[in-house]
Amino acid sequence: MASSQTETAPTGATAEQNPGRWTALAVLLSAVFMNMLDVTIVNVALPSIQEGLDASNSAIEWIVAGYVLMFALALLPFGRLGDIVGKKTMFIAGVASFTLGSALCGLSHTTLMLVLARLFQGFSAAMMTPQVLALTTVMFSANERARAFSFFGMMAGIATVSGPIIGGFLVEHSLFGLGWRAIFLINLPIGLFAIIAGAKLVPSTPRRTDTRNDYLGILLIAVAMFMLIFPLVEGRTFGWPLWCFAMMVAALPVLVAFVMWERRQNARKKPQLLSFQLMKNRNFMVGGSMALFFFSTLPGFFLCLAIFLQVGFGFSALKSGMTTVPFSLGVFTASLISGRIGHTYLKPRVIFGIALLGVGMFWLRLYVLGVGDEVSRWALFAPLIVSGLGLGVAIASIFQLVLSGVPHEEAGSASGALQAVQQLGGAFGIAIISGIFFARLGMSLQVGADNHPAYVSAFALALIYNLVAYVGVIALALLLPADRKPDAPAAKENAPHIA
């Protein structure tokens, strides 16, 4: 229950008079680190999880995609719910739930238990993530926010670089005999610290009892996403029966019903899960489609890369994690450079970054096609770091470019919607890319292909999706108008790419 006392959080010049604001920021950053670490650490452990739980390929997909999907679906509702019950209250509840979810993941003894625990983890991550950015905006005055948000980018970079290394180390050395379970249980001390310190140090915010959630909108979009993603993940297991295609087709009228409902809510000036005004904004819809395809490429790629290296070519979890570090270093380096450039030349930067990412992936595919019985981690270094540099150039610029075409009064809603699109794209990508990978792998092994050629063929085919998607993203980017400098508050206060 939220406290009945609603302390007015510091704003404007008074924020600088709050001496504990930087310490409170450290607490928020610890939650960001825990969430980002969990996203990057799991892929390295997937082969060990599959072996330890005797999990099917579709179950492995759900372990990753289920988290991302639940995160995406709950992100917007919990952002609004934080306004209703208080951002601090929702943040503490989210961290507590995420910590509990991490414990449940670590204690899971069946595939079903782990998938359900991951769904709960994603749900919990959606509780805390919107509050982190909102609380930072409240805690700091306008002239301090840029510096405060820069720490979020730094923390995300640290988690991205260290996640594969930490995950590989924990799995390979099996600390306390925990094996892969340690990658989830490592969240417990971080979460407990964030709960205790957050209760004492994070300022409270007023509750907005006049605000409501769009519950029917939430239900409609959740049903539509389930009807699209479930057949993509499970269709291969069942042999692609008619009901798989029927479910995907039936998702379209549900999506239409969602749009009609949001239009009705807009006409009645009622709460909307996704602002109907944004749906009418051509630039936002084009930009949102661009973001959907862009973010669909990488989660599935890293899932397949981990299996390709560890199961296909016998890499240890630590060696596999270390192999992917150049990509993270490229992202981190390019993000720092992009941050200094600011809001200039957004459209050319998006196109250049995606093109560079495509070059890196094409280079990687060429190398994979020539692999025999051994994969050289050093041969992967150059294409991975080029890909990472491309992602780092493009990722911040995409959000800035899309938001620059959104009216200031819709900036907050647009930012939240883009975060949800980012996660939904990841869920779709995991289903599609891993579906391609496992389908080709199964076919190759059934016809008697050797282990190494089978994995080479499967991974090389899966990479084609990325290359086609990048061409599509560049085509959509060309449809957007020349960028203009967005409103400063929208750019700084929402910063969706760091969540």
Q: 227 and 114 share a domain?
A: no
Measured CA to CA, the distance from residue 91 to residue 107 in angstroms comes to 24
Q: 97 and 177 share a domain?
A: yes
Domain membership of residue 12 (yes or no) is: no
Q: Determine phi and psi for 119, rounding to 5 degrees.
A: -60, -45
> So what's the pLDDT on residue 339?
66
Q: 301 and 186 share a domain?
A: no
Cα–Cα separations (whole angstroms), residue 275 to 72, 410, 415, 417: 16, 8, 11, 9
Q: What is the pLDDT along the chain (499 residues), one digit of tens a residue?
A: 333 334 444 444 444 556 778 888 899 989 888 888 887 788 889 999 999 999 988 889 899 888 988 888 888 888 888 888 888 999 999 999 999 999 999 999 999 999 999 999 999 998 998 888 788 878 887 777 767 776 776 777 778 778 888 888 988 887 778 889 999 999 999 999 999 999 998 888 777 766 778 889 889 988 998 898 889 888 877 888 999 999 999 999 999 999 999 999 999 988 888 888 888 888 889 988 998 999 999 989 999 999 999 999 999 999 999 999 999 889 888 877 776 676 677 889 899 999 999 999 999 999 999 998 899 999 999 999 999 999 988 887 888 788 777 776 676 677 778 888 888 888 889 989 999 999 999 999 888 778 899 999 999 999 999 999 999 999 999 988 775 554 444 444 444 444 4
- DSSP conformation letters of 287-346: HHHHHHHHHTSHHHHHHHHHHIIIIIH---HHHHHHHHHHHHHHHHHHHHHHHHHTTSSH
Which residues, at least 6 apart from 345, have a Cβ–Cβ distance to it below 8 Å? 483
Domain end position, chosen among 256, 272, 288: 272
Q: 404 and 341 share a domain?
A: yes
> So what's the pLDDT on residue 458?
95
Q: 293 and 399 share a domain?
A: yes
Measured CA to CA, the distance from residue 436 to residue 381 in angstroms comes to 25
Question: Length of the chain, please?
Answer: 499
Q: Report the C-alpha dihedral over residues 122, 124, 128, 129, rounded to 10 degrees.
A: 10
Contact 497, 399 (CB under 8 A): yes
* CA angle in degrees (0–180, nearest 5) for 160-441-384: 30
> So what's the pLDDT on residue 84?
83
Domain end position, chosen among 272, 297, 320: 272
Q: 201 and 237 share a domain?
A: no
Q: 229 and 240 share a domain?
A: yes
Burial of 453: CB neighbours in 10 Å, binned 0-12, 13-18, 19+: middle
Measured CA to CA, the distance from residue 80 to residue 89 in angstroms comes to 13
Domain membership of residue 7 (yes or no) is: no
Which residues, at least 6 apart from 372, have a Cβ–Cβ distance to it below 8 Å? 452
Query: Domain holding 149: CATH number?
Result: 1.20.1250.20
Q: 255 and 283 share a domain?
A: no
Domain end position, chosen among 181, 206, 231: 206
Residue (of 417, 462, 110) closest to 276 by Cα position: 417
Domain membership of residue 5 (yes or no) is: no
Domain membership of residue 436 (yes or no) is: yes
Contact 134, 82 (CB under 8 A): yes
Contact 58, 46 (CB under 8 A): no
Residue (of 103, 113, 136, 142) closest to 27 by Cα position: 136
Burial of 1: CB neighbours in 10 Å, binned 0-12, 13-18, 19+: exposed
Domain membership of residue 4 (yes or no) is: no
Q: 198 and 223 share a domain?
A: no
Number of Cβ within a 10 Å radius of residue 419: 27
Domain membership of residue 354 (yes or no) is: yes
Name the residue range of residue 461's domain.
275-499
Domain membership of residue 299 (yes or no) is: yes
Q: Determine phi and psi for 207, rounding to 5 degrees.
A: -85, 145
Q: How many domains does the chain have?
A: 3
Q: 321 and 174 share a domain?
A: no
Residue 471, both tokens? 């061409």
Q: 136 and 185 share a domain?
A: yes
pTM score, whole prediction: 0.83
Angle between helices 377-404 and 411-446 (to 10 degrees): 150
- DSSP conformation letters of 112-126: HHHHHHHHHHHHHHH
> So what's the pLDDT on residue 9?
45
Q: 254 and 134 share a domain?
A: no
Contact 398, 294 (CB under 8 A): yes
Region of residue 176 (left: phi > 0; alpha: psi -120 to 50; beta: else): left
Residue type, 148: A
Domain membership of residue 120 (yes or no) is: yes
